């Protein structure tokens, strides 16, 4: 690219927003020139708004410390040179968030969102770039359906709970081994619930066997991601059934999943599966996107891997690490998988999606 695309980050003071600032600080394609948050932070410079609540390793990027925080509802103060918006903003009601995202789209901005508010909006793409990059093709349909300007649209990143296992299924399906039944148990990190969950006394030396809404997201979002685009919307697939149990465990970062799968037809050998995973490459790898992991799936032969402390940061926090592949008594095979929930599952995954949309011509600068 000849010059960087100037971007804004909504919800810049929270965990995901902070991760955006950290990951975009030296990004070769994007440059943050605007940050926005709730009214209580508006008008302050960023370093004052965050104060002692900076949760990332290292200091706040120097180029962003003095940015004045804009009220997320203030459209008049958006710098004229902003051409893309990353959103880590969730308003108190989902309908408010949906409306806000489309207000930005109507103003001509591409919105790359981490919120769940528009994940089930049928003409909004929900993209994992290694799995369904073609779903970007619904953007012109969305713009037509909603009379949006040619530069404005909403695209969303899926829930962090599915990042650790869905790409492993896609790798198998792409070489002729479709999966039709999945049982998954997630062991989800505290950061997925925000700062309040990280500091909650209830999470000390404890496991919470329920996370509101997570099982529905884990079971249903893959159906849209694996679906097909019609003339007006994305239609969910019916070729796979997923059953999920989602738990919260006392780990700061890194969602682990215990996965049991049954193949629809032929069953590959364990060695074949390992080879398929190790050789898997998606569009981000072949096109060498800046945020793309060189190895999207990394398999460990050690019996005690993957582990969040050891493996969540591999490939810039963007790899899915897998281990303990074995034959199963009730399903065909089972394994353990891991992904970094606030990088691959949040800000990093959204940045990778934005890179895809730049490549496809939906996001551009001047």
Query: Which residues have a catalytic role annotated?
Result: 160, 255
First to last CA, the chain: 12
- Compute φ and ψ for 119, nearest 5 degrees: -65, -30
Q: Quick one: DSSP state of residue 236?
A: P
For residues 116-129, one letter each, b for 16 or more C-beta atoms within 10 angstroms of the residue's C-beta and e for the rest, the string is bbbbbbbbbbbbbb
**Sheet with strand 320-327: strands edge to edge:** 241-248, 179-188, 255-263, 333-339, 320-327, 297-300
> Whats the size of the chain, residue-wise?
366
CA geometry: angle at 71 spanning 69 and 73, to 5°? 150
Q: Quick one: DSSP state of residue 289?
A: -
Given the DSSP bridges, would you call strands 179-188 and 84-87 parallel, antiparallel or unpaired? unpaired
Task: Write out the DSSP string of 15-67.
Answer: HHHHHHHHHHTT-SSEEEEEEEE-TTTTTSBHHHHHGGG--SSSPPPGGGTTP
Q: Quick one: DSSP state of residue 109?
A: -
Query: Is 10 exposed, middle or buried, given 0-12, 13-18 or 19+ CB atoms closer than 10 A?
Result: buried
Q: Is 153 left (phi over 0), alpha (psi -120 to 50) or beta?
A: beta
Q: Which of 290, 286, 344, 331 shows the shortest CA–CA distance to 157?
A: 344
Q: Quick one: DSSP state of residue 134?
A: G
Q: How many CA atoms lie within 13 A of 140 on its CB side?
A: 6
Q: Quick one: DSSP state of residue 202?
A: G
Q: Which of 366, 324, 308 shows the shortest CA–CA distance to 1?
A: 366
């Amino acid at each position: 690219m000849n010059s960087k695309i100037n971007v804004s980050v909504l919800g810049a003071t929270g965990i995901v927003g902070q991760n955006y600032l950290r990951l975009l600080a030296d990004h070769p394609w994007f440059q943050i020139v605007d940050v926005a948050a709730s009214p209580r932070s508006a008008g302050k410079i960023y370093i004052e708004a965050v104060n002692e609540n900076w949760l990332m390793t290292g200091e706040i990027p120097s180029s962003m410390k003095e940015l004045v925080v804009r009220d997320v509802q203030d459209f008049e103060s958006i710098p004229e040179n902003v051409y893309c918006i990353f959103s880590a903003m969730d308003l108190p009601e989902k309908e408010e968030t949906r409306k806000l995202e489309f207000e930005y789209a109507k103003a001509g901005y591409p919105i790359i969102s981490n919120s769940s508010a528009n994940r089930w909006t049928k003409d909004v793409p929900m993209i994992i770039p290694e799995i369904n990059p073609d779903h970007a093709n619904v953007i012109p349909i969305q713009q037509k359906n909603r009379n949006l300007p040619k530069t404005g649209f909403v695209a969303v990143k899926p829930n962090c709970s599915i990042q650790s296992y869905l790409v492993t299924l896609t790798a198998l399906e792409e070489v002729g081994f479709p999966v039709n039944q999945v049982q998954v148990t997630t062991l989800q990190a505290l950061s997925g619930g925000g700062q309040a969950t990280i500091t909650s006394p209830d999470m000390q030396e404890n496991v919470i066997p329920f996370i509101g809404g997570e099982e529905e997201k884990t079971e249903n979002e893959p159906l849209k991601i694996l679906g097909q685009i019609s003339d007006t919307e994305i239609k969910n697939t019916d070729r796979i059934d997923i059953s999920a149990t989602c738990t919260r465990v006392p780990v700061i970062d890194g969602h682990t999943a215990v996965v049991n799968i049954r193949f629809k037809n032929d069953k590959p050998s364990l060695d074949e599966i390992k080879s398929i995973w190790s050789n898997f490459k998606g569009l981000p790898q072949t096109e060498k996107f800046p945020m793309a992991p060189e190895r999207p799936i990394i398999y460990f032969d050690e019996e005690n891997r993957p582990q969040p402390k050891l493996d969540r940061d591999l490939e810039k926090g963007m790899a899915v690490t897998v281990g303990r592949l074995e034959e199963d008594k009730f399903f065909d095979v089972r394994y353990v998988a891991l992904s970094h929930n606030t990088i691959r599952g949040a800000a990093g995954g959204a940045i990778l999606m934005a890179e895809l949309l730049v490549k496809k011509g939906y996001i551009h600068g001047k």
